[in-house]
Amino acid sequence: MPIVVENLTHTYMPGTPNAHVAVDNVSLTINEGEFFGIIGHTGSGKSTFIQHLNGLIQPTSGRVLVDGFDMNDKKQRRQGRALVGMVFQYPDYQLFDSTVLDDVMFGPKNIGQSPEEAKASAEAAMRTVGLDPEKFGEKSPFELSGGEKRRAALAGIIAMKPKYLVLDEPMAGLDPSGRREVLKTISDLRTELGCTVIMVSHSMEDVARSAERIAVMNESKLFALGTPDEIFSRTDDLIAMGLDAPQTARLAKALREKGIAVPDNIYTNEQFIEWFGRVRNA
Ligand SMILES: Nc1ncnc2c1ncn2[C@@H]1O[C@H](COP(=O)(O)OP(=O)(O)OP(=O)(O)O)[C@@H](O)[C@H]1O
Ligand SMILES: [Mg+2]
């Protein structure tokens, strides 16, 4: 069963002079098992949107169904929420225990695992994200680097084995090799655990590489929804709304303007190299 979002609108501080419509009438469906990317410029409503998927905030109007559970209904929300693991944009908000292991165990304990089970789940999750429990388990979360904090926050969520894994900018603030590692961990998790991944990212490159479908948000609205081919063939629109199209998409566009017929569906380095190899040998 999917996550179905119907006419979702969220207004912050409604009825005040500061009222702000952060999500404006968005409808979409996220299918079981897919890698769903969400992009959009800062302030476009991405974080607000995804916080509805685990019922952290409620719609001003419209509704969200997680496997049929209506997140507007208090009782159903508890059932829906149990299926959704959320890794927040700022991992500091998610780490609050005295040791990393306690932190990662918090979620599993909270959903009713015994201390022994929770410890086993936590250690397994730490290994999955590349944090050795021997080395990091007894550290304070505040001693961790930015990338390690993100991994710890991710471990705390995957230790609960969520069906839907929602990640808000999981690679923000990491260097290129850290980004690649975290992105690879996420893709592996999806294949190993079979979970659905919903990832918000500023990085067009990362989304282009991993997502099967992409939602583009612009000024609180859903601007476009489609496969990477469909989205990145609209490089002009993305640039016009202030988004950085993937570098390769920009290069392809520049070449097209010089009269070189680069196909529309070239937007990652790998695709470009493959295409270039073909035309060179033709
Ligand atoms: N708790 C809040 N109260 C009032 N306004 C808020 C609140 N949270 C967000 N906003 C406003 O709602 C709009 C959307 O914010 P949101 O955090 O959803 O954007 P975003 O797309 O995630 O941005 P970023 O890429 O910077 O993370 C922004 O204008 C923001 O200032
Ligand atoms: Mg955000």
DSSP string, the chain: --EEEEEEEEEESTTSTT-EEEEEEEEEEE-TT-EEEEEE-TTSSHHHHHHTTTTSS--SEEEEEETTEETTSHHHHHHHHTTEEEE-SSGGGG--SSSHHHHHHHHHHHTT--HHHHHHHHHHHHHHTT--HHHHTTS-GGGS-HHHHHHHHHHHHHTT--SEEEEESTTTT--HHHHHHHHHHHHHHHHHH--EEEEE-S-HHHHHHH-SEEEEEETTEEEEEE-HHHHHTTHHHHHHTT----HHHHHHHHHHHTT----TT--SHHHHHHHHHHHHH-
Q: Ligand 1 centroid to 27 CA: how many Å?
A: 19
At residue 244, the pLDDT reads: 74
**CA-to-CA distance for 250 and 253, rounded, in angstroms?**
5
Each domain of the chain, given as residue ranges in start order, spans 246-282
CA-wise closest residue to 216 among 186, 241, 249, 179: 241
Token pair 């929300």 in the structure block, residue: 77
- Determine the residue type at 142: F
Does pLDDT of 251 surpass 80? Answer: yes
Query: pLDDT: is 79 or 244 the higher one?
Result: 79
pLDDT of residue 93: 65
Query: Closest ligand 1 atom to the C-alpha of 48?
Result: 18
Span of 126-135, 164-173, 217-226, 244-253 with lowest mean pLDDT: 244-253
Strand-strand pairing, 61-66 and 3-12: antiparallel
Atom nearest to 13 CA in ligand 1: 4
Measured from the CA of 41, which atom of ligand 1 is nearest? Answer: 25
Please give the distance, rounded to the nearest whole angstrom, from the Cα atom of residue 48 to the centre of ligand 1.
Answer: 6
pLDDT one-digit tens code per residue, 110-127: 888 999 999 999 999 999
The tens digit of pLDDT for each residue in 173-197 reads 777 777 888 888 888 888 887 889 9
Q: Which residues line ligand 1 (CB under 6 A)?
A: 12-13, 20, 22, 40, 42-48, 89
pLDDT per residue over 8-53, tens digit each?
A: 999 999 999 999 999 999 999 999 999 999 999 899 999 999 999 9
* Strands 84-87 vs 164-168: parallel, antiparallel or unpaired: parallel
Q: Distance between CA 148 and CA 27 in Å, rounded? A: 35
What pLDDT, on a 0 to 100 scale, did the predictor assign at position 110? 87
pLDDT digit string (tens) for 74-83?
Answer: 999 999 999 9
C-alpha separations of 37 from 9, 59, 149 in Å: 20, 21, 22
- Ligand index nearest the alpha carbon of residue 168: 2
Segment 82-98, tens digit of pLDDT: 999 999 887 776 677 78
Spatial CA neighbour of 218 closest among 196, 205, 234, 233: 234
Q: Residues with Cβ within 5 Å of ion ligand 2? A: 47, 89
